[in-house]
Structure formats: structure tokens, C-alpha cells
Amino acid sequence: MQDEINCDVAIAGGGLAGGLIALALAEKRPDLDVRLIESSPNIGGNHLWSFFDSDIAPKDRWLIDPLICHQWPDYEVAFPAHSRTLHTGYNSIESERLDEAVRAKLRPDQIITAAVATVEKGVTLCDGRSIAAPVVIDARGTADLTCLDVGWQKFLGQKLRIRGGHGLVRPIVMDATVLQNDGYRFVYCLPFDAETVFVEDTYYSDSPALEPEALRQRIAAYAQRRGWQIEAIEREETGVLPVAMGGDFASYWASGGSVAKAGMRAGLFHPTTGYSLPDAVRLAISIAADPSMTPARARAYAKRRWEERGFYRMLDTMLFRASEPDKEYKVLERFYRLSPPLIERFYAGRSTFFDKIRILSGKPPVPIGRAIRAILGYKS
């Protein structure tokens, strides 16, 4: 076993962000020797990632399109007083496809399956090996979230095979007609084929603690309510994503070490949804265009994104601090009455000044006094 490995780019963490960087470099800079280090046997782990067509610029689709497993031309949302079909394309990627794509592009020796001990000027593995590279990128999940003021989006999803079919023709991105408890709750459904549907129970909460068995029971009850007979559960995944209300970006960045960072570790996620795929695509393409990703350049890139998204953190503060837990759904119900282009820009993190005015105008779905107190206590 080689004790020291020398390469051009070392990426610690083979999740979504690290995997996309490796793919982008393999496509645009095949002359570079890239090493991707991941502790688990599968690149991307066990995940399902989804995005709207409007989340990714057309010029950047070359990186993500080959990974898409399922596509739909539209999607639905449902609330107690409002349902709607929106004609924005929706796409899903299963982590197995990312794993296959990375292994097809990289040589076997470029993928190192090992636990990482430290990431500094190089990468030191727990087995004693070291990887030296002029460019080192740490993409190993979140840094110290106690540096940020966050709530949580928690979920458990199951891929179900339904005897006789489920009858859905498009995704239901939010079904908030379900019982509300703890915080805003909705069920998310993706029809993969006539008899297979991915069903995820999702809710916002002040605590990161997840109760998998309770969520499994909720999914079973939801299926029963729809008249579905579950023939098999083909996969299951869980997740707890931060929903950022504020915090100290400088401290968060420093808590992850002094190297260049990517993905959640760089704070590159949408403050309201917790989703990181659009940011991961943009950063991977930026690195492929100029692989000299220094820590200073990486920090400046992430800091700009953080500063641009203060509006979303303020909205999160109102959702968590001003809304009554069983009434939080009204915030989203009102939001989904707005124009489709505004909704698209919101999810893409590109809301305009007039979008922000429109979102905040009219009768607010939260008590005025509580909203004012939440905003006064808000720190970007």
C-alpha cells in the first residue's frame, strides 16, 4: 500500500458536492489527476435528490442531465384551502446513478474508499496514508452548525410498490392536507412508474431529533388514506437538513478548517429548503472552469452566497418564531398562490427585489405582533 499519494486535486467526501466536482473535472479537465476520498462504499450514499428545471441554468445542464433518473413536466401542491398544478419541470436523481457516473469517469485508483482523519494542506487517512495535492477540497457534510441559528427539516422517505398502481400522474411536491404537528408538515410523492411511488413524510422542527418509526407509521397511514395496498418497501432514506435563520458565517467557515470547502460544509445550501443541489452544480462547474480553488477563493464564493440570502433567513425566522406550529402551513399555502416565475426564482435562490416585496405584501399569514418581534430579533 502506497503511504503517500500525490495528485493535482484531492476531494475529501464523495457525497453530492464532492461527486459533482469530480465529474466536472473529469469532463472538462481530464489532464488533472483527481482523487475522490469517501469512507462509505457508495459514492453519494443512499439518497434521492430532486430539482426544478428552473434551479439549474441551461448552460449548466450538461453536468446534471446524465444523472437524472426520473423526469416530469409539472407537479402539484395541496393545502387545506388551495391546490394547484404548476407547469415547471421536475427531476430526480438516485444516488446509485451518481455512483455509476463517477466510477465510469474516474479510474479505480482515483476513488479511495477510506475514512478521513484530517484535511489540512493535504488529506490524512485513518489508515495512515496521506494524499498530497496543490488543491484540496473538503466536502464532508456540515461543519459546526452551533455557529448558526437553525431550525430543522426532517424526513423519512420510502420507495413503495403499490399493488394495482397508485394512480398518480405527476409529483406532489407538497401535500399539506395531512395532520400538522410539531411544525409545518407535508407529504412528498414521486411516481416513478405506474406501481412505484416514493413517499416522504417531511416536517419542520426546532429539534434535530428524528423518530423513524413514527414517520414509518405516518407513511403507512398516508398510503391507507389513499387506498394504496403496499406490496413492498424497496428502499428507505432519512435526513435532517438545517433551515438557517441567521448566525456567524465566519465562525461556521472556520469551524470546518482552513482549507477550501464545498457543499454543506461551505454553507452552500438554500436557507429555507436546506437543499444543496443547485449550489453543488454551480460550484462544480466553477471549479472545472478554474481548478485553482484556494481557501480564500472558496471562502469568498461561499460568503457571497450567504450574504445574498439574508431575505430567506428572515423568512425562516418568521416561520419558526412567529407562526403557531399548527398554522405554519398557511405561510406556504399563501406562497403557492403567487406567480409560477416568482416561485421558480424563490427555489433557485434568485428572488428579485419585486419578488421580495410581493412575498411580504398583503395580509400576513402570521400574527403581526409576533412577526415584528421575530424580525426585530432576527440576526443575519
Each residue's pLDDT tens digit, 359-374: 988 655 544 444 444 4
Structural contact between residues 36 and 43, judged by C-beta atoms closer than 8 angstroms: yes
- With cut-offs at 50, 70 and 90, classify the pLDDT of residue 319: confident
- Which string of DSSP letters, residue by residue, matches 210-263? --HHHHHHHHHHHHHHTT--EEEEEEEEEEEEEEEEEE-HHHHHHHT-SSEE-G
Determine the Cα angle at 339 with ends 83 and 246, to 5°: 95
Structural contact between residues 166 and 258, judged by C-beta atoms closer than 8 angstroms: no
Three-state DSSP class for residue 150: strand
- With cut-offs at 50, 70 and 90, classify the pLDDT of residue 183: confident
Backbone phi and psi for residue 55, each to the nearest 5 degrees, phi listed first: -75, -30
Residue 49 DSSP one-character state: E
What is the predicted pLDDT for the residue at 64?
Answer: 98
Three-state DSSP class for residue 133: coil
Digit-coded pLDDT (tens) for 31-59: 999 999 999 999 999 999 999 999 999 99
Using N-to-C axis directions, what is the helix angle for 95-105 and 16-28, rounded to 10°?
A: 30
CATH for the stretch 147-244 = 3.30.70
d(CA 349, CA 284): 17
Backbone phi and psi for residue 124, each to the nearest 5 degrees, phi listed first: -105, 130
CATH topology of domain 4-143+256-308: FAD/NAD(P)-binding domain (3.50.50)
- With cut-offs at 50, 70 and 90, classify the pLDDT of residue 324: confident
In sequence order, the 6+-apart residues with CB closer than 8 A to the CB of 107 are none
Does the pLDDT at position 300 exceed 90?
yes
d(CA 134, CA 192): 43
Domain borders along the chain are 4-143+256-308, 147-244, 310-376
Count of residues for the chain? Answer: 380
Digit-coded pLDDT (tens) for 74-106: 999 999 999 999 999 999 999 999 999 999 999
Distances (CA, A) of 95 to 71, 138, 348, 365: 15, 20, 22, 37
Do the two domains 4-143+256-308 and 147-244 of this chain adopt the same fold? no
